[in-house]
Amino acid sequence: MNPFHSLARLARRARLFVARDAAEQSMDDEMRYHIECEARDRMARGQDEASAWRSARQTFGGLDRFKEEGRDARGTRLAEDLQMDARYAVRVLRRSPAFALASLITLALGIGATTAIFSVVRGVLLRPLPYAEPERLAVLWERNVPRNHDENVVSVPNFEAWRARSLAFDAMAGMVPAPLTLTGLGDAQRVRGAEVSSTFFTMLGARPLLGRVFASGEGERAPANVIVLSHRFWLEHFRGEQGVMGRAAILDGSPRTVIGVMPADFEPPRVGWMQDPEFWIPFTPTASNRSWGRFLIVIGRLGKGVSIDRARADQERISAALAVEDKADAQWSSSVKGLTEQIIGDVRTQLWVLMVAVGLLLAMAIANVANLTLAQLRRREHEIAVRGALGATRPRLIRQLLTQSALLGIAGGIAGVLAAFWGVHALIGLLPTDAPRAGSIRIDGAVLAVAALTSVVAVILFGAWPTLHGTKDRLAGALGESGHRGTSDRLGGGALIVAEVALAVGVSVIAGLAMRSFLSLRSVELGFDARDVVVMRIALPGQRYQTNAQQVAFFESLLGAARGLPGVQSAGTINIRPFGGGGPATTVAAEGKSDQDLSNAPVTDVRVADGDYFRTLRIALVAGRTFGAQDVAGAPARAVVSRSVARQLWPGEDAIGKRVKVNLNNGIVAEVIGVVADVRAMDARTAPRPAVYLAFGQSNWSVMDIVVRGDAGGAGGAAALVPAVRKRVAELDAALPVYQVAPMSELVSASTASERFTSILLASFALTSLVLAGVGIYGVLSGDVVRRRREIGIRLALGARPYRMLTLVLRRGLARAALGVALGLAGSLALTRSMRALLFEVSPADPVSFGLVALLLLAIAAIATLVPAVRASRVGPAVAMRGE
């Protein structure tokens, strides 16, 4: 049959179904008219009226029988039955509101949580990146061979060489963050932008909302004073005006012409230290930045049909040649990583763990509703038996019961999706600010389809299993006896307890590990004291602060003013605050010792600080002194090193007074005057990095972080000091923006935001799973006790002690819970191995988490078992024997 005919047929059926009362009437009319015609025909042929009518009726046959056959033939039978079943189911559900409500809430919870988490997984992991052919985009890194560091930023000469020599890539774009000071549009502000190669936008396939993006080669050979604005920048600083093209934005003192505005949904690739830029300006390779070392992030578009592996091989070929050509590249090769993998690789495990946990939770919700359905079925078994006796067939009964489950499933699914809309909103609010691709998380068609599919599967599981199970002997079992059941019932309930406990163990173990990991991350020794400290950043424009002495003088007078403020205990400065991202790092060596080969030389962070920096952050002084007023330009160069540097360069010796060679700015040699504790400078997770501190007074840095410690417990915390410091800055120079202002403690907690996010979610899943497990165990066992009241009563009547009944039920519940715990622990052990990458100083088989979860579930099982058990022990023998 062709599809058009099938559709027409469906439409006919739908019409008939809608107008089925009219159809019924017309069938009746038609049949009666037939008999009438037949009778008249017979009369016309000479039969008398009475016998004509009689034989007309006779030849027609049973009116009702043919009506019934007619209804079948109309093809609307299924729909009519379904409607009847649905009405019936609604009636039943309204008669047992507690059951309906409990099932609905449980289902909505399971489906809602699953849908919400899935929409995050889909938005972040499954939805392709919003670029043209995103699978052909890759990130190109330099690879430090001796240190086996795969993802190092790229030097300008190497980027240029790659671009010229590559056989694998159609295009490449370099980019680097460009924080600049914006003036001329309201107060001076520090704005985070990016310098990008002219190919950047076209390579991604990104189109502007207004104007144009960079033309091919624009700004590559000579600087081009043009700028492309992000949607936010455009709204914020140009009030979304259409006529913005051609206007100027003054950045670091030089005007740039606006040539384009990107749409709001443009998602710039977040790679490494590239945050979301607010504007883009052309990157121009110059003699100066060619000598800066490695700092570019490079993205490339692979040629059609070129695999990542082939690109990697080609890149290694080029790097091998470069290593020979330039001594500076001798230790370097290159690596290539797919852009998608680069952006979402870090969160993949985390999100899949959440997905697994929520899946287990959903399974528990389904098991609980299955148990509720089974219990409801048992309460209705008398009614069902009656209906069976009156001729309802088993398929018909099953269909009726399934209709009820389907209704619950649909209602639960809808409620779940509504809850998910709210949940996704809440999740996005909870997400750490640096979470990749948060903007693409939403409930879309695919998410809804999965929610619908989940509901269907849920209905099949929680509806079909108890129904098939429950109607099997129900119909055979005669009407009058409903007091004792076969063993199959108890088996069903028992399996539920085991399954629920095992699932709850799984969810809780995952949550336990995540929380333990989070806690150990929070309590890790950072090497500095973040409490009561606020930090802010100031950039001195080169035009007005040209000399080193001017820059130092400005910061010295600002710090002096800040130290005099009420509520300020100390104030210091450093070029890059802890938890403020990467900074300069290089190889260092002990002067005088034979130059070991470079691959063994330790790489350390290089920081520029004043002496008060260490006091302000309470970084422990291990030996010697920190910088003082005497360490100024012209005085001998001095350095403070962290403990691990001292140990590596001068093992077993006193570092004070030794001279350290720092491979920066053509080599710096400084006398070590102090040794301080190692500090976790990147984030809480990354191990402390060795650091060499150079005296601020002897260096030239125009962008510095100011750290200020307030009185402990001062009103409003350290952040309350910010306005006063800002005022001092304005007094010194009104055109200087103060930016990246944050309490140090906030930076610390922000660095664990992603762990907090997972822990909070998993903890709430675990809590829900514990409640579900408790309710489930309680439900099964109290149903058990009610059903076995007669048996218990007889035993009591025959002299069994009440406490024996108590222990009977307790044993039954706890034995199954113990089995569930054992299965759950074994399953978790297999499951949590894949969590290893997420865990900080906690083993995936952490005995504390596993042990606590086991105890917790046994305790919950004991509590959930105790109530029905006590009830069993109090069954009055006489009451029980009378029956229901």
Partner 1 sequence: MRETKTELLQGTLDLLILKALAAGTLHGWAISKRIRLMSRDVLEVNQGSLYPALYRLEDRGWIASEPGESPEGRRIKLYTLSAQGRKQLAREVEAWGLFSGAVNHVLRTS
Q: Which stretch binds partner 1 (CB under 8 A): 73-81, 189-197, 562-570, 848-856?
A: 73-81
Q: Strand runs (DSSP E) across 135-168, as ranges? A: 137-144, 149-152, 154-155
- Of the candidates 632, 648, 666, the one whose C-alpha atom is nearest the C-alpha of residue 590 is 648
- Sequence-ordered list of residues with C-beta below 8 angstroms from that of 877, at least 6 positions apart, any chain: 793, 794, 796, 797
Q: How far is the CB of 18 from partner 1 (least distance, A)?
A: 15
Instruction: Give me the amino acid identity at 798.
Output: L
Is 28 an interacting residue with respect to partner 1 (CB under 8 A)? Answer: no
- Sequence-ordered list of residues with C-beta below 8 angstroms from that of 93, at least 6 positions apart, any chain: 99, 100, 404, 407, 408
If the CB atoms of residues 45 and 239 are measured against partner 1, the closer one turns out to be: 45
**Of all helices (H) and strands (E), which one includes residue 197?**
none
Q: How far is the CB of 7 from partner 1 (least distance, A)?
A: 11
Is 60 an interacting residue with respect to partner 1 (CB under 8 A)? Answer: yes
Q: Are strands 279-282 and 189-196 parallel, antiparallel or unpaired?
A: parallel
Q: Which stretch binds partner 1 (CB under 8 A): 1-9, 480-488, 499-507, 849-857?
A: 1-9
Could you tell me how many residues of this chain bind partner 1 (CB under 8 A)?
28
If the CB atoms of residues 29 and 481 are measured against partner 1, the closer one turns out to be: 29
624, 674 contact by CB (below 8 A): yes
Is 79 an interacting residue with respect to partner 1 (CB under 8 A)? Answer: no
The one among 74, 192, 310, 659 contacting partner 1 by CB under 8 A: 74
Is 30 an interacting residue with respect to partner 1 (CB under 8 A)? Answer: yes
Contact flags string 40-59 toward partner 1, x per CB under 8 A? -x-----------------x
Q: How far is the CB of 19 from partner 1 (least distance, A)?
A: 12
The one among 15, 19, 26, 767 contacting partner 1 by CB under 8 A: 26
The one among 49, 72, 481, 654 contacting partner 1 by CB under 8 A: 72
Q: How far is the CB of 83 from partner 1 (least distance, A)?
A: 18
If the CB atoms of residues 24 and 220 are measured against partner 1, the closer one turns out to be: 24
- Quick one: how far is CA 346 from the chain centroid? 11
Q: Which stretch binds partner 1 (CB under 8 A): 27-35, 338-346, 470-478, 660-668?
A: 27-35
Q: Are strands 169-183 and 154-155 parallel, antiparallel or unpaired?
A: unpaired
Is 9 an interacting residue with respect to partner 1 (CB under 8 A)? Answer: yes
The one among 47, 54, 66, 565 contacting partner 1 by CB under 8 A: 66
Q: What angle do CA 479, 483, 484 make, to 5 degrees?
A: 105
Is 78 an interacting residue with respect to partner 1 (CB under 8 A)? Answer: no
Q: Which stretch binds partner 1 (CB under 8 A): 36-44, 105-113, 261-269, 502-510?
A: 36-44
Contact flags string 643-672 toward partner 1, x per CB under 8 A? ------------------------------
- Sequence-ordered list of residues with C-beta below 8 angstroms from that of 349, at least 6 positions apart, any chain: 834, 835, 837, 838
Please tell me whether residue 383 adopts helix, strand or coil conformation.
helix
- Residue 704's alpha-carbon distances to 559, 696, 699, in angstroms, are 12, 10, 12
Q: Which stretch binds partner 1 (CB under 8 A): 61-69, 155-163, 250-258, 459-467?
A: 61-69
User: The tokens of 457 are what?
Assistant: 């599967």
Give the single-character DSSP code of 214. Answer: P
Could you give the angle at which helices 97-121 and 394-430 cross, rounded to 10 degrees? 50
If the CB atoms of residues 9 and 91 are measured against partner 1, the closer one turns out to be: 9
Instruction: Give me the amino acid identity at 334.
Output: S
Q: How far is the CB of 27 from partner 1 (least distance, A)?
A: 7
The one among 65, 221, 239, 304 contacting partner 1 by CB under 8 A: 65
How many Å apart are CA 142 and CA 294, to the nearest integer?
A: 9
Q: How far is the CB of 82 from partner 1 (least distance, A)?
A: 18
Q: Strand runs (DSSP E) across 286-359, as ranges? A: 294-302, 332-338
The one among 47, 75, 615, 664 contacting partner 1 by CB under 8 A: 75
Please tell me whether residue 826 adopts helix, strand or coil conformation.
helix
How many Å apart are CA 492 and CA 461, to the nearest integer?
A: 13
- The contact set with partner 1 (CB under 8 A) reads 5, 8-9, 12-13, 26-27, 29-31, 33-34, 37-38, 41, 59-63, 65-66, 69-70, 72-75
